[in-house]
């Protein structure tokens, strides 16, 4: 990873120089290290050389970058914050794995569809669909995800989980009796850490079950109706 960062720092310095902005390559290496979740480039090198760690940055399948930390590092080094974009672009050219700018980008542009499909295909969700008289053609609507904590602080493992709802439809001309049309689903993806920003997919767990809350609503409506009749 050191050679990749050095190449990216050189490429970023050339681009900045073409805009008449001279920034030391050592400073650019610091900014790239911050993008990778490290306070300093030295801290990155120390962790990369640690033989007790199972994985390092070069083992990562995915990198999730920490732009706020990189902006903070620019402030500390007294260089313009727009240097971060040049570093990000130059680093992206050097690596051959997917890069995401923060957890929200990682979830929204990568994990969302994968985990939604895994939920839909799970044995639990399919069992609940089989018990329902509704047709389920669409992927589940997902809520905001939860995580095990800040990604760049996790040392060995990090997970992200989300819950959602599968909503089915009934054929208006059909004779299927209504017995619920919502299925609660959940999913959790676990990753091994490879450096501060690197992830390696380990496991996906999904669950699902029929949402019977409509039955209680029906009972409440019936009770309210009879109460109004008696009143």
> In 55-104, at which residue ranges do the beta strands (DSSP E only) sit?
62-65, 99-101
Q: Which residues pair with 157 in a beta bridge?
A: 192
SS3 148: coil
Per-residue pLDDT at 161: 95
In whole angstroms, give the CA distance from residue 166 to residue 142.
9
The reported pTM is 0.82
- In DSSP terms, 169 is beta-bridged to 135
pLDDT, tens digit, for every residue of 33-44? 999 999 999 999
Q: For 4-60, give the DSSP string.
A: HHHHHHHHHHHHHHHTT----HHHHHHHHHHHTT-SSHHHHHHHHT-TT-S--GGG-
**Torsion of the alpha carbons at 65, 71, 76 and 81, rounded to the nearest 10:** 130
Q: What are phi and psi of 103, to 5 degrees?
A: -65, -40
Per-residue confidence in pLDDT tens, the chain, 231 aa: 889 999 999 999 999 999 888 899 999 999 999 999 999 999 999 999 999 999 999 999 999 999 999 999 999 999 999 899 999 999 999 999 999 999 999 999 999 999 998 988 888 888 877 777 777 887 888 999 999 999 999 989 999 999 988 887 877 777 776 666 788 888 999 999 999 999 999 999 988 777 666 455 545 444 454 455 555
- For residue 76 the two structure tokens come to 């500390």
């Amino acid at each position: 990873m050191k050679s990749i960062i050095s190449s990216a720092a050189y490429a970023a310095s050339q681009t900045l120089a073409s805009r008449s902005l001279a920034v030391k390559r050592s400073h650019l290496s610091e900014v790239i290290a911050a993008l990778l979740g490290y306070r300093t480039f030295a801290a990155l090198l120390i962790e990369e050389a640690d033989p007790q760690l199972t994985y390092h940055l070069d083992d990562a399948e995915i990198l999730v970058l920490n732009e706020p930390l990189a902006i903070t590092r620019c402030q500390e080094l007294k260089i313009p914050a727009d240097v971060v974009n040049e570093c990000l672009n130059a680093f992206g050219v050097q690596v051959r794995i997917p890069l995401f700018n923060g957890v929200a980008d990682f979830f929204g542009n990568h994990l969302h569809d994968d985990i939604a499909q895994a939920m839909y295909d799970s044995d639990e969700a399919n069992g609940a669909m089989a018990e329902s008289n509704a047709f389920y053609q669409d992927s589940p609507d997902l809520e905001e995800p939860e995580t095990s904590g800040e990604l760049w602080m996790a040392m060995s493992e990090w997970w992200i989980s989300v819950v959602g709802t599968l909503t089915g439809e009934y054929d208006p001309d059909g004779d299927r009796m209504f017995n619920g049309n919502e299925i609660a689903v959940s999913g959790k993806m676990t990753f091994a850490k490879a450096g501060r920003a690197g992830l390696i997919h380990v496991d996906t767990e999904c669950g699902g079950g029929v949402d019977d809350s409509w039955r209680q609503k029906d009972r409440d409506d019936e009770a309210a109706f009879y109460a109004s009749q008696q009143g």
